[in-house]
Amino acid sequence: MTVANLTLNDGARIPQVGFGVWQLPDARAPEVIGHALNSGYRHIDTAHAYNNEEGVGIAVRESGLPRDDIFVTSKLWNMFHGRDATMKAFDGTMQRLGLETLDMYLIHWPVPMEDKYVESWKAMIELRDAGRIKSIGVSNFNQDHLQRLIDETGVVPVVNQIELHPRFQQRAARDYHEKMGIRIESWSPLGQGNIIDDPVLKSIAAKHGKGVGQVILRWHVEQGLVVIPRSKTPKHIDENLQVFDFALDAGDMEQIAGMDRADGRIGPVPTELGVVNLPPKE
């Protein structure tokens, strides 16, 4: 299966469907990611906080694929904001990954109560300009956080990775991101499995002869979103990539638009998550 690529505002190309590895134990990462790469994924999304960067690096090196063919993302954790801490954390990430350069590095959360995210952003600009990172972006940033980065540095993030799924569609954020040329990357794109039994989605899936998960991922794809589903099951890993051989019609999109809920958020509120110690490695 050939995965479509999208162009970021710095000219880089990112595979639209990637493989998320949150909650994937480091010891299992080479096996599971290896299967994903064999299936056709070319975009792996990890983070310092996921405790599996070493396994990701092993999978990339053992894949037999040219390094330039695999887009690898990692993220700066909350307790490492500030210039010097960001530089040190990035060095640790690269040591664990065992890579020379990183395709994309994101600030995982803004942690506004610490007020150091602009300082971290400036450090990431330095790392990009030094050739150590190809693209830089953020995750879980609200519009005011994004605008402050832009106003104080002149550098627009290429991506903002945010929670987005049919029950939490982030409509209010879409226009601003489009205006600024910031790609939205959807995390928990399947709603962490909470919407798989939704009758609307099941009806649309039956109409297209597809699974509910594939319909949801196709919904992301058709809106120009980057999407990073995760699974440890080979069957689901394969199915999540098979979303480029059908299309949703206007009626399908309208029905899914009606699923949006004011209380649909699953994860933390970006302004409320502060410095959190890294979880112990499994």
- Does the residue 183 lie in any domain? yes
In a domain, residue 34? The reply is yes
Q: Is residue 126 part of a domain?
A: yes
The tokens for 267 are 């994860």
- pLDDT-based confidence at 182, cuts 50/70/90? very high
Residues 134, 74: Cα–Cα separation, whole Å? 12
Q: By residue range, what is the domain housing residue 116?
A: 5-195+219-245
Per-residue model confidence (pLDDT) at position 280: 60
- Mean pLDDT across 108-119: 97
pLDDT tens, position by position, 122-143 = 999 999 999 999 999 999 999 9
Task: Determine, yes or no, domain membership for 252.
Answer: no
As annotated, the active-site residues are 50
Per residue, what are the HEC states of 106-155? EECCCCCCCCCHHHHHHHHHHHHHCCCEEEEEEECCCHHHHHHHHHHHCC
Reported pTM: 0.95
Answer whether 139's CB lies under 8 Å from 20's CB: no
Report the CATH number at residue 38.
Answer: 3.20.20.100
Sign of the CA dihedral running 154, 16, 36, 139: positive
The total number of structural domains that make up the chain: 1
Average pLDDT taken over every residue of the chain: 95
Q: Which residues pair with 242 in a beta bridge?
A: none
Per residue in 30-52, pLDDT (tens digit) is 999 999 999 999 999 999 999 99
Model confidence band, residue 82 (pLDDT cutoffs 50, 70, 90): very high
Residue 276 lies in a domain: no
Residue 174 lies in a domain: yes
Tell whether 258 is covered by a domain. no
Question: Is 89 within a domain?
Answer: yes
